[in-house]
Amino acid sequence: MIVQHLGSLHPVEQGLTLALAFGPFAVLAIVVWVRRRLDAAEEISEPARPDPSGSPTSEP
């Protein structure tokens, strides 16, 4: 079987090919960026939590 070249892609096909190739990475980058912003905002808004074991850490 001989693979034949069908010519250049139509501009719409080029756009779809680029979207399929790089779209998932762009979406992943946006999700990571948003989650990091939310986590940072959550850390700022939460007060410091006491030690979960119940033992005081600052007493000698």
Residue 53, phi then psi, degrees to nearest 5: -75, -15
How many CB atoms are closer than 10 A to CB 16? 13
Read off the pTM. 0.58
- The reported pLDDT for the residue numbered 35 is 97
- The reported pLDDT for the residue numbered 26 is 98
* CB 35 within 8 Å of CB 41: no
pLDDT in tens, 2-58: 667 778 889 999 999 999 999 999 999 999 999 999 999 988 887 666 667 766 665
- The reported pLDDT for the residue numbered 20 is 96
